[in-house]
Structure 1
């Protein structure tokens, strides 16, 4: 199976559930809602592996907030890149 092009994964982080959207990296690439997942480490690991099985070199990002950098540490510990955006 050939993996899709590189993708950017945006995560809307909340205490109970995280929403995820994926954008193909090429110019004019499709942007689509991927779904919601429980905000537990186990659920996030599962969805990150699922996304990585479909996209070559996914890059994750989310907005900094009350969740701190725990999700960043989780994603990078799995070997993927992650940007934490601070809108302040």
Structure 2
């Protein structure tokens, strides 16, 4: 069975605000933080989130 997480991104010119929610109904939503809106930082975010499963 796969674990599902939902990722919310609030994208701005200089930053991206990230939130993560569990896949179950009523799951906890957690603020992940802000990262610079740059390809290298987005890539690191994807690597970190994909390693969670």
- Scaled by the length of structure 1, the TM-score of the pair is 0.55
Q: Which of 20, 23, 28 matches 1:22? A: 20
What is the total number of aligned residue pairs between the two structures?
51
Deviations 1:10-35 (A, max 9, x none): 00000111000001010111100001
Whether 2:5 is the aligned partner of 1:7: answer yes
Local SS of the residue matching 1:19? strand
Distance 2:41 2:9 in 1: 13
Distance 2:4 2:35 in 1: 22
Q: CA deviation at 1:39?
A: 0.3
Q: CA deviation at 1:44?
A: 0.3
Gaps of 5+ in 2: none
Gaps of 5+ in 1: 56-88
Name the one with the larger strand percent. 2
